[in-house]
Amino acid sequence: MTSPLVDIVRAEIATTGPITFARFMELALAHPEHGYYAAGPARTTRTGDFLTAPELHPVFGWTLARQLHEAWERLGRPEPFVLREDGAGSGTLGLAIVAGLAADGSGLAAAVRYLPVEVSRRRRADCAERFAAAGLAGLLAASAGGEAPDPVRPFAGAVLANEYLDALPVHLVERHGGSFREVFVDVRSVPGVAGRPGGVPAAGDGFVEVLGEPSSPALAARIGGLGVELAEGQRAEVCLALSPWADSVAADLARGLVLVLDYGREATDLYDRRRMAGTLMTYRGHAADPSPEAAYRDVGERDITAHVDLTTVRALLAARGLAHLGTTSQAELLVGCGLEELLARERAEARDLRAALELRRAVHRLLDPRRLGGFRALLAGRGIASEPPLRGLSFRILGSG
Ligand SMILES: C[S@@+](CC[C@H](N)C(=O)[O-])C[C@H]1O[C@@H](n2cnc3c(N)ncnc32)[C@H](O)[C@@H]1O
């Protein structure tokens, strides 16, 4: 059965004309009723379409808790310490972090106030229920369904974004005849006619791609500002939504840490000619499909993501007073934060073979550079000492600065 979203997208195109791919992606993922993240079952779990690190095993959150503890100490142990989590889902990572802090005997366990930011109403409700069931409703901001009053903004604390920025809508641009064009999404009017001359064919659910003048000068300005040049025929993603996100981080965080964990690359790599088709990827039922037409199939039932431009994230945060502290791989961040110590502790206390094996498998996946270990971790901050390097950066070999 086709999702009602297909009719919603078609109706918008009928009213406004072809829409940008960014608008299409926004509707497909975040439409409040029928979007991929709003509707349907949990997407990021074993039974969903892909498994994120927090859903793999709580050891991920226990390990990040150690980085947060160190940041809290560096900031002079502020109370409250607000942990804003963007794209928090149903709070799996937040719960694991709080559990990790408690298991470590960290004073931050009592000072932390969790502020989930989540577009899905259902996941927000799940999060409130799970915190209440764990007896932790007092840690959850009132606006998120918890008992703690909403934090006074700006606050001291941290902003955490795990696999969030790659879900923000991206514009698609291409270079043809030396000029910069944007991909728009239209409804196919003639059955059987898919695609556009000289371009990548698009099909599925009756949508077709058309090229047009860029919808905003900010697109060319972003690419130009990065000092990169697209090759003839090259397609690339541009995430303009990173700017309002950086605005909101800068507005909220008076003092503290920003921790971004995601599929990410530097701009020179992202826009390199080796990536003629860009990095857009779709997922359904644990199967990845990078073909451009897949984005228009199973609209509202398929995840769409694009690699995060870390060069831009860093520059946008720096321009708002949030200094870059370092960029590394997720594996190195986790090892720096003490993942192996945690593994040893759990082993020593293990009473259950199945749980011990699950933990071991999870650690392998988290450290494997071809899997979750190859994600990037970008740390930035305001009012937090950068020296000595935070523990998550003690294995730093990547990134700039
Ligand atoms: C890939 S999932 C990651 C969830 C969680 N951070 C994890 O690692 O398991 C992306 C999350 O971001 C949320 N999301 C997407 N767009 C959003 C937006 N504009 N505002 C807030 N949340 C959003 C989705 O609902 C989803 O929970």
C-alpha 55 – ligand 1 centre gap (Å) = 13
10 Å Cβ neighbour count for 116? 27
Q: Model pTM?
A: 0.94
Q: Closest Cα partner for 96 from 70, 114, 81?
A: 114
User: 351 CA distance to ligand 1 centroid (A)?
Assistant: 35
Taking the centre of ligand 1 as the mean of its atom positions, its distance from the CA of residue 119, in whole angstroms, is 7
- Give the pLDDT mean for 212-238: 96
Please, which residues bridge with residue 157 across strands? 82, 256
Q: Establish whether residue 164 lines the binding site of ligand 1, counting it when its CB lies within 6 angstroms of any ligand atom.
A: yes
Question: Alpha helices, DSSP H only, in 134-189?
Answer: none
**399 vs 150, higher pLDDT:** 150
Of 86, 96, 87, 98, whose CA–CA distance to 43 is shortest?
A: 87
One-letter amino acid at 237 equals: E
Q: Quick one: average pLDDT of 85-103?
A: 97
- Mean pLDDT lowest among 37-46, 124-133, 309-318: 37-46
User: Looking at per-residue confidence, does 188 or 127 come out higher?
Assistant: 127
Return the minimum-mean-pLDDT range out of 82-86, 190-194, 292-296.
190-194
pLDDT range class, residue 202, cuts 50, 70, 90: very low
Single out the residue of 99, 161, 89, 95 nearest to residue 126, CA to CA.
89
List all residues 6 or more positions away from 252 whose beta carbon is below 8 Å from its beta carbon: 84, 153, 154, 155, 159
Task: Quote the CA–CA distance of 149 and 139 in Å, as a whole number.
Answer: 9
Q: Is 162 in the pocket of ligand 1 (CB under 6 A)?
A: yes
Helices (H), 153-227: 217-225
Mean pLDDT, range 337-345, rounded to an integer? 94
Report the pLDDT value the prediction gives residue 183, as an integer from 0 to 100. Answer: 98
pLDDT at 39: 72
Pocket test for ligand 1, best of 64, 163, 164 (most atoms within 8 A of CB): 164
Under the banding of pLDDT at 50, 70 and 90, the label for residue 43 is: low
The torsion angle over the Cα atoms of residues 245, 251, 256 and 258, rounded to 10 degrees, is 0
pLDDT band at 107 (very low <50, low <70, confident <90, very high): very high
**Which residue is closest in CA terms to ligand 1's atom 27?**
89
The residue ranges of DSSP E strands in 330-383, in sequence order, are 376-382
Residue 197 confidence (pLDDT): 42
What was the pLDDT predicted at 1?
Answer: 65
d(CA 298, CA 308): 24
pLDDT band at 105 (very low <50, low <70, confident <90, very high): very high
Q: Looking at the predicted structure, is the pLDDT value of residue 373 above 90?
A: yes
Cis ω before 290 (30° cut-off from 0) = no
Amino acid at 344: A
The verdict on the CB of residue 54 being under 6 Å from ligand 1 is yes
Read off the pLDDT band of 397 (50, 70, 90): low
Q: Give the confidence band of 295 by pLDDT, cuts at 50, 70, 90.
A: very high
Which neighbouring-strand residues pair with 81?
Answer: 112
Please give the Cα distance from 262 to 169 (Å, whole number): 15
Burial class (CB in 10 A: 0-12, 13-18, 19+), 365: middle
Looking from the CA of 276 toward its CB, the CA atoms found within 13 Å total 6
Instruction: Kindly tell me if the per-residue pLDDT of 203 is higher than 60.
Output: no
At residue 44 the predicted structure's pLDDT band, cuts being 50, 70 and 90, is: low
| Percentage with pLDDT > 70 across the chain | 92
The count of residues in the chain is 401
- Mean per-residue pLDDT, 70-87: 98
* pLDDT at 122 > cutoff 70: yes
- Rounded to an integer, what distance in angstroms lies between the CA atom of residue 355 and that of residue 391? 27
Look at the block and give the residue holding tokens 């003839």.
232
Which of 40-44, 56-60, 264-268 shows the lowest per-residue confidence on average (mean pLDDT)?
40-44
Instruction: Determine the average pLDDT of the residues in 148-160.
Output: 97
Instruction: Tell me the pLDDT band of 192, cut-offs 50, 70 and 90.
Output: very low
With a CB cutoff of 8 Å and minimum separation 6, the contacts of 118 are 87, 88, 89, 124, 127
Assigned token pair, 152: 């006074």
| Residue 284 phi, psi (nearest 5) | -150, 130
Question: Hey, is 371 helix, strand or coil?
Answer: coil
Q: Is the CB of 90 under 6 A from ligand 1?
A: no
Helix residue ranges, H only, 44-165? 53-56, 59-74, 92-104, 108-111, 121-133
Cβ(117) – ligand 1 distance below 6 Å: yes
Look-up of token digits 């809290």: 72
Distance between CA atoms of residues 213 and 313, nearest Å: 26
